[in-house]
Structure 1
Amino acid sequence: MKQPDQILTLSAGPSQLISAICDEIGFEKTINEQLDWDKDRCHLSPGARIKALVINILCGKEPLYHIHHFFKEQDVEMLFGSHVKAGDLNEYSIGRALDALYKATPWKVYSTLSVSTCRKLGFSLSTLHNDTTSYSLYGDYKKTNDATEETTKDLEITYGYSKQHRPDLKQIVLGMSVTPERIPVLANVENGNTNDKGWNLAFIQKLREILSKEEWDQLIYQADLALITTDNLREMRGNLHFISRLPETFKISHALKEKAWKNGEWREHGQLKPQKKAASYKIQSFIEELDEHPYRFVVVYSDKLNEQKGQTFQRNLRKEQTLLEKAIEKFETTTYHCEADAQEAWEAFQKAHSSHYFHYSCAIQPEQQAEKRTTRGRPKKGETPTMITVYPPRLHNLKENEEAIEEKKRKLSTFILITDKLDRDELSDVDVLQTYKGQEAAETRFLLLKDPRLIDGFFLKKPSRIEALRIVIVMALLIYGILEHRVRKNRKQEEKPLVLAGNSKLFRPTGQVLLKELQEIKVIYIQQNGKVLRYLPDNIGEQAKRILELAGYDLSIYVSKKKEKVAN
């Protein structure tokens, strides 16, 4: 019997599932249609190369200059076609794909892919959560004078407000818009010194370009309090529905809190989440004018906010009390020979140590005191000291201003939301709160983009490639989000948790857990007589099989080129 020409054990892991999801949403086709490339001369399309980079990001995390080593352990023919070899996926071909993506404007390419995906898979675009984060970079990035290089036309790597707490490093800023299901819809890389207040308006214009008129009219744009400036409100007026948090810098914020606590007409809502330690809320709402235009303001009381900020306030209160007691003790050691001087010193002390949270008073009473001797030596026997009148300040009754403290605690436990949606029947006050709290959808995705367990360091010299790569990472996040959402949704219908190593039970598994659980999948690759046979070992875990089924596929995607999605 003739021996096989080649027998390999390939570490497929989740790569075939990622490839199947890419094929399902038309990943390669959508990208290729937007990029400029020579179909006759290119051995591998830029869409396929970007797909390879997405697979590496989610599975291998190899640096770009080692990416071909990662694909040596993959079934490249199943992923990209029989004409492709691992050596084709090297740092140079990936770099050229990033250059092509940059020339086509990365955010436009991505938004075309993401919006078509959302429409195809049924993700609603009626509410989008928007935020920015910064990414610190190491190295010296200078502008180039090369006329053929478009590296710094749009992107400036420079110093700015660092959300990674590294002001010593240059950075870039990534703005992103996600659905409530945590699917990124729009992403754009900005200059490192981009300000959130100005960023919002530019980002809104990009959203307007990618959404249909019907989607735009139904859209609720949710962002943090950097959105709310007088200029931004005027720009959005009549053009965009929004929900955000009202900054404390607006005078109306103090007035609304006072009004809410004075009338006390709170509506108990309870928890937004079923967790035991989740915050409980009470709400009131008012329609008031800001900049001569009506808005709905939802005043929200949170018991967790009260607890958290209350503890910080108490610590600061004790510090203030200690400092005040020391100042009083020092002040009382001084005596004055003139009542007017004592009174003047007392007034100066009050001015220097005024406190909104503590009351104290002062008594200046004349006292008789022996005058200090001016001659040297011991006093003579029978010498009577000269008595003088002095005016020592005596501070007393240091106590807390309970009313002011309680007022401060009330204000710390409340925050105010603002929206242009005035009709409570169309959007209730609770809906406004729930939409605002959905901001964590963007925040959790930013945390994921910075998690070295998923996305490790990359080494690039060109700012253009840095910009393009950041958008490719968001593309990986798109596939990640689809996988995570689909598995969670289908698992919920079965009401049976995933049981992983250590008998841990997961009802809402993260994408990271799912990808890790699929890493065990291997493929036996046999080449004989010009034919290729693929087999799966019998020891693939049941949970890995179940994850594939919950994602809408099965193990056949690893051995058959037909990657049709099975019933969801």
Structure 2
Amino acid sequence: MPEQKTSLDHSAPAPRRTKRVVVPGKHAQADGLQLRSYDVGALPLLTQIVERMQLQRILSQHLPKDDSRTELPTVTALLVLFANLLMAREPVYGVGEWAALFPPDLLGLREQDLSRLHDDRLGRCLDRMFEGIGPTLIMAVVRHVIREFAIGLDELHNDSTTVSFYGAYNEAGQESEQRGRPTHAITWGHSKARRPDLKQLLYTLTVTSDGNVPVYFSSASGNTVDDGTHIGTWDLLYELIGHANFLYVADCKLASSENLSHMATRGGRFVTVLPRGRTEDKAFRQRLRATPSVLKWTLLYKLANDKGHIIDELFVCEDDHIHSEGYRLLWYRSTRKAEQDQSRRARSIQKTTEALSDLRERLQGPRTRFRERAKVEQALAELLAEAEASPWLLVEIEEQEEETFRQATRGRPSEQTKYLRETRSRFTLTWKLNVEALSEAEREDGVFPLLTNDRKLSATEVLQAYKRQPLLEKRFSQFKTDFAVAPVFLKNVSRIQGLLAAYFFALLVQTLLERELRQAMARAGVATLPLYPEDRPCARPTTHRLIEVFSPIQRHEVRVGQAEAQVMVTKLTKTQRSIIRLLGLDPRAYGLA
């Protein structure tokens, strides 16, 4: 029987998505009894913060208007997505199933909206977010947050990280335009995650010293250099605050002449690290190596751990130092950093000696290919070029003559057999520590320079401002662990940019909840809360831990026959009640009178 070929009608429309009927909660029934159970968790705590932020109103004003046929508003769906990012981090296609576990009213939904909360709808919502996100929307949200939560803006910290992507992303390899707006290039660049094999985007964040609250973010192509992001960020912060009299703290990428001049000439203040290799840095370190006793250091303060043991001592050099462009240059020394520098150098030396041992084994192998000195020198140069410890090791190549004998003619050897003597060069490596170089390096341990144009700040105040910079790294850590930003389960770069904006708003909610609880604890004189396992005390509660503590809370609706359902809520623990009281949350949100 001949094979029948089926012709494809390419003009036929694609089949429409089958409408699902989603019933919220989990159900059980037996002998006239019906039970419907919902998760509640920490959702009321997060909802309180979102309502105070007025996210729904502000997003509605700045995002493109919905089509009249839209059944589920964009902003409503985005708020559900924010809650998911905070509590579960499900892929976009799993948000609808996750939302069905909760009472629809807690998510601002109607029961019929659950079936509309699918991946296509959320994808279109991210398209709308991409179209509307920008400085205007971000500053509208942040301005209201600053007023509502009384956030101080006298000191701001800026830094960047990278978001890695698994996959080719060939269509997003170049910057282009979608929906009338520019898109980033997902491409290779300097990976801060130490994954140079993965493509990436750059994510820049600015936070306050008051609670580390995010006040601005931006994203850029993966090959963007950090140096060029500071001027645009500072100008937007100037517009947000309304004046230039705030302290801008950033890492050494800020310390370019263009960046510093832009801020200083407009009345701005900054604190940054002087990069290694600058003229002033080389001169001071050379002086430190040559005559360390000439430099005088003044103790600023000491740091102790919980047991009272001193873990760090901070000193400042008494000599005045001026940057070539007239800024203050302060040199500090930290005993803990000195220990870290020594440990890092020891690990580097060990790693380099292991690599040298491997190369030596290759040189001495019976079938080695290193028979020429030039080839050995090239291999050694490549090894030392990649090794951080090369200045502290003295490596020599030793050449030895190896004799071998073979018969001059063929045949079985006898007493009359003549042998020919052959010599071949064989190389080996020897190395030892460069004691003088190590001694000079130890004199630099723990030393670092800070650059500022603020002459009113004391040396201690400049140092403490810089020491608050790692708190921004904590936000990046939460960004990549609590929120699990990677892997990104999206392909379209415009939707990815919309998702990164959603992460900013979720991070803002998370930070504000932490700040509100910690301030409430301080006002009430509560030093710790028993949030850790086995009721161990926690002095600085995090939103992530609050979500875990409140996760067992559920709402149950029991119905007997056709009677009205009775509502029951999981009995709250003493700790949960304390947190609700500290946050000033309406007890009725958890079914309490």
The TM tier, using the shorter chain, reads: 0.7 to 0.9
Instruction: Indicate whether 1:267 and 2:294 are aligned.
Output: no
The 1:442/1:4 distance shift into structure 2, 3 A limit, reads farther
Give, in whole Å, the separation in 2 of the partners of 1:173 and 1:539. Answer: 45
Partner of 2:44, secondary structure, is helix
The 1:247/1:285 distance shift into structure 2, 3 A limit, reads farther
**Structure 2 equivalent of residue 232 of structure 1:** 259
**Structure 1 equivalent of residue 185 of structure 2:** 156
Q: Which residue of 135, 143, 153 corresponds with 2:163?
A: 135
Deviation at 1:273, TM superposition (A): 6.6
The 1:47/1:272 distance shift into structure 2, 3 A limit, reads farther
The 1:322/1:432 distance shift into structure 2, 3 A limit, reads same
**Structure 1 equivalent of residue 241 of structure 2:** 212
**Structure 1 equivalent of residue 221 of structure 2:** 191
Give, in whole Å, the separation in 2 of the partners of 1:468 and 1:323. Answer: 45
The 1:96/1:175 distance shift into structure 2, 3 A limit, reads same
**Structure 2 equivalent of residue 535 of structure 1:** 567
The 1:83/1:30 distance shift into structure 2, 3 A limit, reads farther
Give, in whole Å, the separation in 2 of the partners of 1:136 and 1:66. Answer: 22
**Structure 2 equivalent of residue 517 of structure 1:** 549
**Structure 1 equivalent of residue 196 of structure 2:** 167
Give, in whole Å, the separation in 1 of the partners of 2:139 and 2:480. Answer: 21
Q: Deviations over 1:136-170 (max 9, x none)?
A: 1122324489x994388231111111111221221
Q: Which residue of 433, 439, 445 corresponds with 2:469?
A: 439
Q: Is the CA contact 2:298–2:318 (under 8 Å) kept in the aligned structure 1?
A: no
Identity over aligned residues, as a percent?
24
- Is the deviation greater in 244-253 or in 499-508? 499-508
Aligned pairs (5 A) from 1:12-411 = 12-38=40-66, 40-80=68-108, 82=110, 85-143=113-171, 149-150=178-179, 153-180=182-209, 181-209=211-239, 211-214=240-243, 217-239=244-266, 240-257=268-285, 261-271=292-302, 275=306, 276=309, 278-284=311-317, 288-291=321-324, 293-314=325-346, 405-411=438-444
The 1:356/1:444 distance shift into structure 2, 3 A limit, reads closer
- Is the deviation greater in 183-192 or in 444-453? 444-453
Q: CA RMSD in A?
A: 3.6
Q: Is the CA contact 2:517–2:579 (under 8 Å) kept in the aligned structure 1?
A: yes
Partner of 2:450, secondary structure, is strand
Give, in whole Å, the separation in 2 of the partners of 1:428 and 1:495. Answer: 31
Give, in whole Å, the separation in 2 of the partners of 1:234 and 1:283. Answer: 26
- Is the deviation greater in 87-96 or in 265-274? 265-274
Give, in whole Å, the separation in 1 of the partners of 2:349 and 2:590. Answer: 63
Deviation at 1:542, TM superposition (A): 2.2
The 1:431/1:141 distance shift into structure 2, 3 A limit, reads same
**Structure 2 equivalent of residue 341 of structure 1:** none
Q: Which residue of 495, 498, 520 corresponds with 1:490?
A: 520
Q: Which residue identity lines up with residue 125 of structure 2 in the other structure?
A: A
Deviation at 1:131, TM superposition (A): 0.6
Q: Which residue identity lines up with residue 455 of structure 2 in the other structure?
A: L
Q: Is the CA contact 1:58–1:454 (under 8 Å) kept in the aligned structure 2?
A: no
Q: Is the CA contact 1:281–1:303 (under 8 Å) kept in the aligned structure 2?
A: yes
Q: Which residue identity lines up with residue 236 of structure 1 in the other structure?
A: M
Give, in whole Å, the separation in 2 of the partners of 1:499 and 1:104. Answer: 39
Give, in whole Å, the separation in 2 of the partners of 1:317 and 1:184. Answer: 40
Partner of 2:182, secondary structure, is coil
Q: TM-score scaled by structure 1?
A: 0.76
Deviation at 1:524, TM superposition (A): 1.9
Deviation at 1:212, TM superposition (A): 3.1
**Structure 2 equivalent of residue 346 of structure 1:** none
**Structure 2 equivalent of residue 373 of structure 1:** none
Give, in whole Å, the separation in 2 of the partners of 1:151 and 1:458. Answer: 24
Partner of 1:461, secondary structure, is coil
Deviation at 1:412, TM superposition (A): 2.6
**Structure 2 equivalent of residue 460 of structure 1:** 490
Deviation at 1:529, TM superposition (A): 12
Q: Is the CA contact 1:102–1:468 (under 8 Å) kept in the aligned structure 2?
A: yes
Q: Which residue identity lines up with residue 492 of structure 2 in the other structure?
A: K
Q: Which residue identity lines up with residue 480 of structure 1 in the other structure?
A: Q
Q: Deviations over 1:457-497 (max 9, x none)?
A: 44112101101101111211111111122222323421243
Partner of 2:327, secondary structure, is strand
Deviation at 1:87, TM superposition (A): 1.9
Partner of 1:218, secondary structure, is coil
Deviation at 1:67, TM superposition (A): 1.0
Q: Is the CA contact 1:491–1:507 (under 8 Å) kept in the aligned structure 2?
A: no
Give, in whole Å, the separation in 1 of the partners of 2:187 and 2:440. Answer: 43
Deviation at 1:266, TM superposition (A): 2.0
Give, in whole Å, the separation in 1 of the partners of 2:433 and 2:590. Answer: 74
The 1:35/1:532 distance shift into structure 2, 3 A limit, reads farther
Give, in whole Å, the separation in 2 of the partners of 1:548 and 1:232. Answer: 46
Q: Deviations over 1:428-453 (max 9, x none)?
A: 21111111111112111111111167
Q: Which residue identity lines up with residue 298 of structure 2 in the other structure?
A: R
Q: Is the CA contact 2:393–2:434 (under 8 Å) kept in the aligned structure 1?
A: yes
Give, in whole Å, the separation in 1 of the partners of 2:351 and 2:82. Answer: 52
Structure 2 spans left out of the alignment, 5+ residues: 1-30, 357-383, 385-389, 395-431
Q: Which residue identity lines up with residue 29 of structure 1 in the other structure?
A: R
**Structure 1 equivalent of residue 509 of structure 2:** 479
Q: Which residue identity lines up with residue 235 of structure 2 in the other structure?
A: Q
Q: Is the CA contact 2:56–2:79 (under 8 Å) kept in the aligned structure 1?
A: yes
Q: Is the CA contact 1:58–1:455 (under 8 Å) kept in the aligned structure 2?
A: no
Give, in whole Å, the separation in 1 of the partners of 2:535 and 2:191. Answer: 41
